[in-house]
Structure formats: structure tokens, C-alpha cells
């Protein structure tokens, strides 16, 4: 049986053209062919990130670089801004790396309040802050500009931002914001199969890393920078993923980034309208809602698990039944990647057909 089309907030559905691109020829990664592949992706991916700095490619999931940020950058103490499963986990990862860590914890579904970041940093001792821009578990979009302005006002504090489920779904201007490391996995809005992460570092981040004794090898930011100068990666990368990234970035530029952002916004508005029609309430408050996915509160009279299963078996579409401690209490619909008004409408039709059978 064919697998359902994914409307879960990652991994998302992958275009046949992307799979075809992955079947490119085997090439050695220390030769001219690889250098050409590497450098051919740079101009496009830099536009997506909003930077003139090199974009590094890591053969890992996003967590490789998220842990890498801790190991490369946290000398004194990290402040983790926690508002959901991914941002909360970063605090645990910092501790498991043996670092001193403190957190600001807000209720799941709420955004980070920038003023609390100012107050916490003012207590002193922090050299790094971690922020998840788009908290995929709750559908919260955090106020990136406000938080980055505040972190910038403190000397020698580095800001690390996870844009895993927002990069390429909405404008992000690395060079225009005071961000030191921006990272993303490719299996969310970029719509590649999982297995690659992209990231950008500031000069301050690279300087900090260079002075860290125990930053390891695989995720050593200095190694990435050194190899980038030769259009290369520290170790053998997943070359099929780089073929796929070249293909997808080409498609993004052809569509036009502004058009791509507009399409995500319009598809996201469609999800909100569909939810409003059924009186489904969004978990995050107005003004802090993701544009790439929607997290709804499960009504008491809905057999959510039965409904989701039925939409998969009867229509071949998969949505998600909640993540972490809000599993079963929320459901999430992604509009990331290659979706159109038509594919979103097909999903709503399927959800609507099955819904009455599972309302009590």
C-alpha cells in the first residue's frame, strides 16, 4: 500500500523531482565536481537565509547543530528560552553536555516575552541564549526581532536561533538581525527528506568556538568554516542531499522567495479559516501564530485518534495528533513546503468527510 501524503509538521511531503535529483551521479567529495556542487548551492541558500555569509551543510538532523551550538559556544552559562518540546529539550541537551544552564519557561502555547529575557540576562553570567523561532510542537512563532535586539544590548552574549520550521516559509534576514548562529533541518519547510542541516555563523560565534577546548570534531564550527573556504565539508557529506538541496533551492528562486512566503501565508490562512468553520481553537494567541503549521486544541467531543486514522486509511492524508505532553490534547496541520491551495483543499475535504463520524 502506498504511504499517506504527509501534512504533519515534519518530515513533510517530498516532490518527485527532489527524489529524482537525489539519484545524481556518485562523485568524490574532495574533487572539482563536489566543489562545483557545493558552490552552486551557495548563492540561492544565502538568499533564503538573508545573508552574504557562507551557509554550512551538516550531514545530521537539526539536533546535531543544536548540540553543536552548546559545545562550540557555551563557556560560562547558557540561557534556554523554553516554550515547547524542542526549546525545552535544548535545556536538557545543554545539561547533558555538562554545561551550566538556566531557563525561562513559559506555558506551552505561549510565546517568550522579550522583557523577561532582558531581566534574566541582567542578572549576569550568561554568554549564550538559545531560541526556537517557530516552536513546532505548539505552533508558536516567537518575536525574533525583539529578542535579538535585547540580546544584542548585552556584551558578549551569543544568540543561537533554531529556524527549523520557519526557514524558507517566511522572510528571515540573518544579516539584518543580531543572530550569531541560525540553523535549520531540511525536512520541514525546505521539503527534503531528513538527513541534512544548514547553518550560518557570525564572526563572534566563530571566534568563541576557536577558543573552546572541548568542542569535539564532527560539529566543530571552525572545521566547517575552514572547509567552506575550499567549497567543502569537514567529513564526507550526504551528497544526494546536496543534489536535492540544489534542486529545491532552484525551485524556490524560480517561484520567487516573496511568492513562496505569500503562498505559505495564504495556505496557513486557509487552515485557520477551516479551523474557525469547525470552531477549533488555535493553541497560540493571536499575533504569535506560526505561518507554516497550525496547532489546534482538541475539542472534548472529538475522537481525535479515530478521526486521524480514518483520514489516513480512507483518504491517504496524515495530520499529527499532538507532540510531547500535549499529544492527544492538540492536533497539528502543516502547510510547509510544496503545498498549494488545491492540495490544502484536498486535505480539508478529507478531514471534513471523516469528522462527523468521530464527533460524540
Ligand X SMILES: *Cc1c(COP(=O)(O)O)cnc(C)c1O
Which residues here bind ligand X, judged by CB under 6 A?
A: 10, 61-63, 86, 132, 136, 162, 164-165, 185, 188, 194
Cell of residue 6, nine digits: 504527509
Least CB distance from residue 101 to ligand X, whole Å?
Answer: 17
DSSP run (H or E) holding 160: strand 158-162
CB of 165 to ligand X, least distance (A): 4
Q: Among positive and negative, which fits the CA dihedral 195, 91, 327, 111?
A: negative
Strands of 226-310 (E only): list them: 281-282, 293-297
Closest approach, Cβ 30 to ligand X, in A, equals 27
CB of 66 or CB of 350, closer to ligand X? 66
Q: Tell me the CA distances in angstroms from 108 to 50, 87, 137, 143, 174, one per residue in order.
A: 29, 10, 9, 16, 27
> Given the complex with ligand X, which of 86 and 219 has the nearer CB atom?
86
Nearer to ligand X, 188 or 215 (CB): 188
State the nearest-atom distance from the C-beta of 61 to ligand X, in Å: 3
Q: Which is nearer to ligand X, 164 or 350 (CB)?
A: 164
160 vs 350 by CB, closer to ligand X: 160
| 219 contacts 65 by C-beta, under 8 angstroms | yes
Q: How far apart are CA 94 and CA 97, in angstroms?
A: 5
d(CA 266, CA 341): 8
- Measured from the CB atom, is 140 or 311 closer to ligand X? 140
Give dist(CA 310, CA 357) in Å, integer: 9
Beta-strand pair 5-6/330-334? unpaired
Q: Are 172 and 163 in contact (CB under 8 A)?
A: yes
Minimum CB distance to ligand X, residue 246 (Å): 20
Min dist. Cβ of residue 187 to ligand X (A): 6
Amino acid at each position: 500500500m502506498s504511504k499517506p501524503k504527509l501534512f504533519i509538521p515534519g518530515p513533510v511531503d517530498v516532490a518527485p523531482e527532489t527524489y529524482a535529483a537525489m539519484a545524481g551521479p556518485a562523485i568524490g567529495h574532495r574533487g572539482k565536481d563536489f566543489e562545483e556542487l557545493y558552490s552552486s548551492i551557495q548563492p540561492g541558500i544565502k538568499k533564503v537565509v538573508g545573508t552574504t555569509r557562507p551557509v554550512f551543510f551538516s550531514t545530521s538532523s537539526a539536533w546535531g547543530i543544536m548540540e553543536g551550538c552548546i559545545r562550540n559556544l557555551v563557556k560560562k552559562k547558557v540561557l534556554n528560552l523554553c516554550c515547547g518540546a524542542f526549546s525545552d529539550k535544548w535545556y536538557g541537551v545543554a545539561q547533558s553536555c555538562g554545561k551550566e544552564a538556566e531557563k525561562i519557561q513559559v506555558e506551552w502555547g505561549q510565546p517568550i516575552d522579550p522583557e523577561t529575557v532582558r531581566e534574566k540576562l541582567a542578572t549576569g553570567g550568561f554568554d549564550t541564549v538559545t531560541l526556537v523561532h517557530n516552536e513546532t510542537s505548539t505552533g508558536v512563532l516567537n518575536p525574533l526581532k525583539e529578542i535579538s535586539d535585547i540580546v544584542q544590548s548585552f556584551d558578549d552574549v551569543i544568540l543561537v536561533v533554531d529556524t527549523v520550521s520557519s526557514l524558507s516559509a517566511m522572510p528571515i534576514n540573518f544579516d539584518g538581525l543580531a543572530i550569531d548562529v541560525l540553523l535549520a533541518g531540511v525536512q520541514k519547510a525546505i521539503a527534503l527528506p531528513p538527513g541534512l542541516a544548514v547553518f550560518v555563523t557570525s564572526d563572534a560565534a566563530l571566534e568563541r568556538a576557536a577558543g573552546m577546548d572541548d568542542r569535539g570534531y564532527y560539529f566543530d564550527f571552525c572545521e566547517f568554516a575552514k572547509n567552506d573556504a575550499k567549497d567543502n565539508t569537514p567529513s564526507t557529506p550526504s551528497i544526494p542531499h546536496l543534489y536535492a538541496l540544489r534542486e529545491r533551492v532552484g525551485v524556490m528562486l524560480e517561484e520567487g522567495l516573496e511568492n513562496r512566503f505569500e503562498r505559505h501565508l495564504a495556505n496557513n490562512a486557509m487552515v485557520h479559516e477551516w479551523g474557525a468553520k469547525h470552531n477549533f481553537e488555535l493553541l497560540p494567541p493571536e499575533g504569535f501564530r506560526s505561518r507554516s503549521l497550525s496547532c489546534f486544541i482538541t475539542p472534548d467531543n472529538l475522537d481525535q485518534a479515530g478521526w486521524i486514522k480514518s483520514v489516513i486509511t480512507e483518504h491517504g492524508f496524515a495530520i499529527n495528533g499532538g507532540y510531547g505532553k500535549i499529544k492527544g490534547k492538540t492536533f497539528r496541520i502543516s502547510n510547509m513546503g510544496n503545498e498549494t491551495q488545491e492540495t490544502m483543499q484536498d486535505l480539508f475535504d478529507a478531514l471534513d468527510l471523516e469528522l462527523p463520524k468521530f464527533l460524540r
